Structure 1
Amino acid sequence: MAKSTKIQRQFNGRDESWMQFNRRVLEEAEDATNPLLERVKFLAITASNLDEYVEIRQAGLMQRIEDGYQEPGYDGLRPDESLEGLTREIHSFVAAQYACWDKRLLPEMRKQGIRLLDWNELDEEARAFAQNYFQREVDPLLTPISIDPAHPFPRVLNKALCLALLLRPKRRSSGPLVLGVVTVPRALPRFVRLPCAEGQFDYVLLQDLIAQNLAGMYRGYEVQAYTAFRVTRNSNLYFEEEEARSLLETIRVELHNRRKGDAVRLEIEAGAHHEIVERLRTNFELEEDQVFQGEGPVNLSRIMSLYSDVQRPDLKFPPFTPHPLSLSRKAANIFEDLRTRDILLHHPYDSYDPVVNFIELGAQDPNVVSIKQTLYRTSSDSPMFQAITEAAATKEATLVVELMARFDEASNIRWARNMEDAGVQVFHGVVGLKTHCKLALVVRRDEDGVTRRYCHLGTGNYNPVTARFYTDLSLLTSNPEITERVHMVFNYLTAHAEVDDYRPLLVAPLTMAESFLGLIRREAEHARAGRPAHIIAKMNALLEPSVIEALYQASQAGVEVDLIIRGVSILKPGVKGLSDNIRVRSVVGRFLEHSRIFHFANGGNYEIYLGSADWMPRNLFERCEVVFPVRDPAALARIHDEILPAYLADTTKARLQQADGTYVRANKAMKDAPAFSAQEFLMQLAEGKTDISAIPKAASSGPRPAARATKTASNRRSAKKAVAAD
């Protein structure tokens, strides 16, 4: 009991924290200051988030319970206790989602001429169009099924939308009703666009269109009732590597087996006939609290299609064009430029094109003798694939592909096969560890006869599509110390060739965890000695207990700690005697915050690291990750003087975490602080419409990093002048 009490005092619950994050996304859908179609998009994101959470996290809890696992989690709760609370919270959240859709978004959409119509609202022209569409596009894809001794219940695919029917055979009026099932085709749009006046957008749900034609599909029956439903299955991916012939074959088998996962959730329309609900629940072997009824269309994630289909720019965020990279005037190409400076890019404010160009030029340049890259997930039409494929014809081309990137396994397998056929050396990393680091290494025999290494290190995936709406940082460098260690990391990934020291890189699972703990302890030592001590860390999630305990100890030593965490955080900030000096904020806005930044004041000689790793057990101990230092003065100044202060000053899209794990909007907690949005500021900064003087000095929830600020700002101005004069 003492251990459980201590855990509860020190940590919040992981599941509770995740639900708090999705609530923050839902707040953006509810926020009337956001453009209407952006709010629709945010609501769709909450549904997609919840889908993944249920089929992974909730399913995992259920699996643990079935396996008899009783070890308490971070918050001291057993899996069964966590599942009980989580299920209640999901029911509450689903009710809030549909309230947002029904009471806020649908009425506003109607006012703007965007209408989701019931069948009885369609005029003759619209009905004729819909019926013609059904006969031409829909009916050929449908397979109506009736459940009887000769026709067992069909295998319903994970998250496939279906219609369930209660049918009475016409030849016998007595006896039990028959259950029918029709799967709604995934290949067709969920919202069928209807002819209407210019500037108006009318739709009917595909399942409603199918429902109007059920009688024709079940001619020997009378349709007594029908409803839409969807089943979510356990999508946890388990396998024993030592039993597989190869990792590639293992993933192929698991992709097939995933369809056989147990059901963990039934979504069904509110008001569905009780007998349909019970038959489905019994068939899928679900408890009553695993049935979720919604006052609206089943599967709200599909409303995302409205965002792209409705051409109303006035109902979306204003377009933003990323800032392009300008090379030094004397540099013929990016390699010449990198011999004189490092290049830091902040996406999406800075264009992602330089990263793509770096890979493409490396593949095309006859002076390049080798190119290596890691790949976790990317877009299906990535230009980087084409570039490395072409490179294999004239130089050494190596790709480390992560096959187990969740939900991207099939595409990664396909690309891996294609790459191997083209002559690329494809590796799958260290057995048992996901390769999550973002690295590209180009070896070039330069014009002066010297062979040099050039590399890209990033915080985000090599995906030009997501780079337009994920915030990430890229570092392009030819720094010999860094590039040599990147080469060593590739040796580790392809040959499991470990070295004792990867400094200045922090490499997981080898050195990263202990290195981060050492950096945190160093700040505590500075604080005890009266020197500047401040930790600012920006990441997606914070779950590692040893890191949290080190942060608690640093806080007690007098270190100021500001954490910018988009998603899950089980740390308890602001607890007297435990975490008095720790503040946690989350920024949820137009762009998905994805960058990882680690700032240590270090007694006045501050250090900044970037990387692919969150402070989570999986990142520190179960993945191949790389965190790297920023050395270039201009790059340091940009992070120190612009990026981090902007996030700490945000009062518009930031929420402040309370000790109990809940969040309050920063503008409510800091009523006297001026309104300020970090993302809006960074867009304006990229467009040249503002400068760092626009960052409110008193808005931050904690002290701004003052140490060395004047010096780095001066260095950055000097670096800009040097580039201009080059």
Structure 2
Amino acid sequence: MAKSQDKQHLFFGRDESWLSFNRRVLEEAQDDTNPLLERVKFLAITASNLDEFVEIRVASILQRIEDGYTESSPDGMTPEQSLAAITENIHDFVAEQGRCWNQQLQPALRKAGVRVLGWDEMDEAARKAAKDFYQREADPLLTPITIDPRHPFPRVLNKALCIALLLRSKRKSAAGPVMGVVTVPRALPRLVPLPSASGTHDFIFLHDLIERNAAGMYRGYEILSKAAFRVTRNSNLYFQEEESRNLLETVRSELHNRRKGDAVRLEIEQDASPEIVDRLRINFELDESQVYRTDGPVNLTRVMNLYSDTSRPDLKYHAFVPHELRLNRKSEDLFDELRHRDILLHHPYDSYDGVVGFIQAAAKDPAVVSIKQTLYRTSSDSPIFQALTEAAQSKEVTVVVELTARFDEASNIRWARDLEDAGVQVFHGIVGLKTHCKLALLVRRDHDGVVRRYGHLGTGNYNPQTARFYTDLSMLTSDAAITASMGAVFNYLTAHSESDDYTPLLMAPLTLAQGFITLIHREMEHAAAGRPARIIAKMNSLLEPSVIQALYDASKAGVQIDLIVRGICSLRPGVPGLSENIRMISIIGRFLEHSRIFYFENGGKEEFYCGSADWMPRNLFERCEVVFPIRDAQICGRIRNEILAAYLADTVKARWLDGEGVYHRVRDTKKDLPVFSSQDFFMQVAENKASIDDIPKIDAGHANHHKHAEKPVKKAAAKQKSAAD
């Protein structure tokens, strides 16, 4: 028992921490300082996030319970205890989502002239348009089903919106009520636009329109009650990779099986009749705790259509044009530029066209003889994909495609086959390990006759679409040591050829975990010797117990530690005797914080690293990841003085985590701090409207609740903004 209590003292629960993250996203939907349609978008994102959490995390816990696991997780909780806590949390969260929609967003939308109408609120023109849409678009796609001995309950697809109806036959000799089920077509928009004479943007939910016309589908029946519902199923893949001769075919087969996973959640309208709820719950073999009654749209992810289908720029974030990569005037081309300097791109503030252009230039350049690249997620019309297929016509092209990137498996299978058809050598990485590193390596015979390698290393996926709203870092380089190590990584991915040393890169699963722990311990040694010692680490999630323990040890040794963790954080900051020198903030804003940056003061000889890996067990031990050093002094200055300094000074979108697991808005706890948003600042820098001199001198990461002396990141000597890359 003492051991369990120790665990609870040392770590926050992973799932509770994730749910806390989603609450921070919901706070952005509730925040009336955000543009109204952006708030609607945040609400839809919370619903999408929760869907994935239920079908992956909750489903996994249920599976563990069913398989008889009783071992406690690092937070000291058994699977049964975790499930109970999570279930209560989710029920509260769903209620809060409903209040946000009904009490905040809908009234504000109506006031702004964006209306989701019920049938009784529509005028004759709107009703006629709705009827025409139903008859023309919806009715041909609908298949009404009545449940009886000859018609068993239909197979309801994962997350498909359906309508349940309680029906009574009009025949006098008929038995009791039966149930009908209609699946709402996924091919149609969930919000049907309506004409408006008053200049408003009007919509009706598709399921409301179908319910309105349900009597026409069930002639001979009286409709006693009806309710929209949705079932979430277990979406984990369970194939045994080692036993599969053809990984591509196995993944494709399991994707089909995923759609048949066990039900883990039933969402249904709050006012649904108890009889409908009970029949559905029994059919899907769910406990009462797995039934979620929603006070609002059953599928809140679909309110995203309000954002996309409403042309109201005044209700959205202002348009932002990213900074384009510009070469120095003396450079003949991009490769000439890279022979003289490394280039850092900070997306989305710096355009992703710089990365696309790097691959496209390689494809077209006859001096480039080979291209090697990893692909984890990409877009359906990716120019990178097109460039690789074009390059395969004249040079050696090797691509490592990760087939099991969650929820992108089907598209990745298509890309893999198309690439092979184009002549690309396609590999699927190491058995049992996801390929998550972001690498592109070119071999070029330059004009001076020297064969050189050029590389791109990044923190985000090769996806130009998501690069518009994910914050990531890209480095383009011809550094001989880095690109040689990249070549060794590709040998590992394609031939499982292990090197004794991947220096200067850190590579999971071989050297990354121990490499980070060694760097943390080195800061402890510096602190003990009275030398400058500080760690700043930015990532998506922090979960790995061995790394957390190393951070605790460093804190106790006097190392000042700032963590910028967007999502899950199992570390307890600010605990006396354990972590009083650790500050943790989370930033949720317009863009999804996705970059991973690691800073070690190293006794005054600073080291900077970036990469694809969070401090999580899966990244450190179960994936192929790469973390790369930043060695260009000018780029190091930009990361230190501009990027990290801005994040730590954020007082608008930053929230700090206390030792009890509660997040506090920095702006609420320190009223006297200047108003500063890191993401707004980065946009202004890209537009040449701001510089590092505009970053507040107070380091908000230190000022929020800790009493020890501040130690700002910004160096007094660094007065000039680094040159735009």
Asked if Structure 1 and Structure 2 have the same fold, meaning a TM-score greater than 0.5 normalized by the shorter chain, the answer is yes
- For residue 556 of structure 2, what is the amino acid of its counterpart? Q
Equivalent position of 2:603 in the other structure: 603
Alignment of 1:7-406 (within 5 A): 7-172=7-172, 175-197=175-197, 199-406=199-406
1:282-301 Cα offsets, whole Å, 9 max, x none, are: 00000111111111111100
* 8 Å CA contact retained: 1:456, 1:476: yes
Q: State the alpha-carbon separation in 1 of the partners of residues 539 and 547 from structure 2.
A: 13
Q: Secondary structure at the match of 2:701?
A: coil
Q: State the alpha-carbon separation in 2 of the partners of residues 700 and 118 from structure 1.
A: 47
1:128-152 Cα offsets, whole Å, 9 max, x none, are: 1111111100001000000000000
Q: State the alpha-carbon separation in 2 of the partners of residues 354 and 713 from structure 1.
A: 27
Q: State the alpha-carbon separation in 1 of the partners of residues 713 and 54 from structure 2.
A: 45
* 8 Å CA contact retained: 1:232, 1:265: yes
Q: Secondary structure at the match of 1:84?
A: helix
- For residue 142 of structure 1, what is the amino acid of its counterpart? L
1:297-356 Cα offsets, whole Å, 9 max, x none, are: 111001011101100000000011001111010112110000000000000110110100
- For residue 134 of structure 1, what is the amino acid of its counterpart? Y
Q: Secondary structure at the match of 1:74?
A: coil
- For residue 309 of structure 2, what is the amino acid of its counterpart? D
- Number of aligned residue pairs: give it: 719
* 8 Å CA contact retained: 1:532, 1:707: no
* 8 Å CA contact retained: 1:565, 1:585: yes
* 8 Å CA contact retained: 2:324, 2:351: yes
Equivalent position of 2:538 in the other structure: 538
Equivalent position of 2:705 in the other structure: none
Pair 1:709-2:715 in alignment = yes
Equivalent position of 2:454 in the other structure: 454
How far the C-alpha of 1:709 sits from its partner, in A, is: 3.1
Equivalent position of 1:469 in the other structure: 469
Q: State the alpha-carbon separation in 2 of the partners of residues 604 and 572 from structure 1.
A: 28
Q: State the alpha-carbon separation in 1 of the partners of residues 613 and 56 from structure 2.
A: 20
Q: State the alpha-carbon separation in 1 of the partners of residues 561 and 230 from structure 2.
A: 44
* 8 Å CA contact retained: 1:402, 1:428: yes
Equivalent position of 1:437 in the other structure: 437
Equivalent position of 2:706 in the other structure: none
- For residue 127 of structure 1, what is the amino acid of its counterpart? R
Mean alpha-carbon deviation: is it higher for 312-321 or for 324-333? 324-333
Root mean square deviation of aligned Cα: 1.3
How far the C-alpha of 1:251 sits from its partner, in A, is: 0.3
- For residue 405 of structure 2, what is the amino acid of its counterpart? A
How far the C-alpha of 1:421 sits from its partner, in A, is: 0.6
Equivalent position of 2:694 in the other structure: 694
* 8 Å CA contact retained: 2:600, 2:608: yes
Q: Percent identity?
A: 67
Pair 1:490-2:490 in alignment = yes
* 8 Å CA contact retained: 1:637, 1:713: no
1:676-706 Cα offsets, whole Å, 9 max, x none, are: 1110111111111111111111142227766
Alignment of 1:404-419 (within 5 A): 404-419=404-419
Q: State the alpha-carbon separation in 2 of the partners of residues 498 and 334 from structure 1.
A: 32
How far the C-alpha of 1:250 sits from its partner, in A, is: 1.3
Equivalent position of 2:506 in the other structure: 506
Q: State the alpha-carbon separation in 1 of the partners of residues 713 and 44 from structure 2.
A: 43
How far the C-alpha of 1:365 sits from its partner, in A, is: 0.4
Q: State the alpha-carbon separation in 1 of the partners of residues 716 and 514 from structure 2.
A: 32
* 8 Å CA contact retained: 2:242, 2:432: no
* 8 Å CA contact retained: 2:438, 2:462: yes
- For residue 97 of structure 2, what is the amino acid of its counterpart? Q
Q: Secondary structure at the match of 1:76?
A: coil
Q: State the alpha-carbon separation in 1 of the partners of residues 529 and 425 from structure 2.
A: 52
Equivalent position of 1:619 in the other structure: 619
* 8 Å CA contact retained: 2:641, 2:714: no
How far the C-alpha of 1:243 sits from its partner, in A, is: 2.3
How far the C-alpha of 1:633 sits from its partner, in A, is: 1.1
* 8 Å CA contact retained: 2:666, 2:700: no
TM-score scaled by structure 1?
A: 0.98
Q: Secondary structure at the match of 1:482?
A: helix
Q: Secondary structure at the match of 2:340?
A: coil
Q: Structure 1's 507 and 712: CA in aligned 2 closer, same or farther, altered over 3 A?
A: farther
Q: State the alpha-carbon separation in 1 of the partners of residues 550 and 512 from structure 2.
A: 14
Equivalent position of 2:630 in the other structure: 630
Equivalent position of 1:576 in the other structure: 576
Q: State the alpha-carbon separation in 2 of the partners of residues 154 and 135 from structure 1.
A: 24
Q: State the alpha-carbon separation in 1 of the partners of residues 70 and 378 from structure 2.
A: 38
Mean alpha-carbon deviation: is it higher for 6-15 or for 43-52? 6-15
- For residue 185 of structure 1, what is the amino acid of its counterpart? P
Q: State the alpha-carbon separation in 2 of the partners of residues 708 and 605 from structure 1.
A: 15
Q: State the alpha-carbon separation in 1 of the partners of residues 622 and 574 from structure 2.
A: 30
* 8 Å CA contact retained: 1:640, 1:705: no
Q: State the alpha-carbon separation in 2 of the partners of residues 706 and 681 from structure 1.
A: 18
Equivalent position of 1:524 in the other structure: 524
How far the C-alpha of 1:419 sits from its partner, in A, is: 0.4
1:497-543 Cα offsets, whole Å, 9 max, x none, are: 11010011000000000000000000000000000000000000000
Alignment of 1:644-655 (within 5 A): 644-655=644-655
- For residue 13 of structure 1, what is the amino acid of its counterpart? G
Q: Secondary structure at the match of 1:223?
A: strand
How far the C-alpha of 1:710 sits from its partner, in A, is: 5.0
* 8 Å CA contact retained: 1:645, 1:700: no
- For residue 258 of structure 1, what is the amino acid of its counterpart? R
* 8 Å CA contact retained: 1:674, 1:699: no
* 8 Å CA contact retained: 2:485, 2:505: yes
Q: State the alpha-carbon separation in 2 of the partners of residues 300 and 708 from structure 1.
A: 43
Q: Structure 1's 282 and 500: CA in aligned 2 closer, same or farther, altered over 3 A?
A: same
Q: State the alpha-carbon separation in 2 of the partners of residues 656 and 208 from structure 1.
A: 42
* 8 Å CA contact retained: 1:116, 1:205: yes
- For residue 146 of structure 2, what is the amino acid of its counterpart? S
1:615-652 Cα offsets, whole Å, 9 max, x none, are: 00000000000000001111100001010010001110
How far the C-alpha of 1:173 sits from its partner, in A, is: 5.8
Q: Secondary structure at the match of 1:230?
A: strand
* 8 Å CA contact retained: 2:640, 2:713: no
Q: State the alpha-carbon separation in 2 of the partners of residues 687 and 704 from structure 1.
A: 31
How far the C-alpha of 1:712 sits from its partner, in A, is: 5.9
Alignment of 1:542-561 (within 5 A): 542-561=542-561
